Amino acid sequence: MRNLRHRARRKRRCSTTGKFSYLRHEDALADMRLVHEKNKGIGPPLCVYRCHDCREFHVGHTPVAIRVKFGL
């Protein structure tokens, strides 16, 4: 079971996008790995990015232009 601090971090949401917000890049990466394992690698690749509105980190799909450029 995860500690309460981790749960509190995951419950934070961005006011503009409604996505989960993370204070640190490492926390978002850890959650991205969990989502990837849960989905068994099926679906488009995920990435971590900094939101322009709330200045915190979110997990989202890799943009199509980047997927095409690098053949992902």
> How far apart are the C-alpha atoms of 58 and 21, rounded to whole Å?
5
pLDDT > 60? residue 33: yes
Residue 45 structural domain: 4-70
Instruction: Please count the structural domains in the chain.
Output: 1
How much is the average pLDDT of 44-59? Answer: 86
Please tell me whether residue 48 adopts helix, strand or coil conformation.
Answer: strand
- DSSP H or E stretch at residue 36: helix 25-38
> How far apart are the C-alpha atoms of 56 and 54, rounded to whole Å?
5
> How far apart are the C-alpha atoms of 66 and 37, rounded to whole Å?
22
How much is the pLDDT for 4?
A: 60
Determine the longest span between alpha carbons in the chain, in angstroms: 40
Question: pTM for this one?
Answer: 0.67
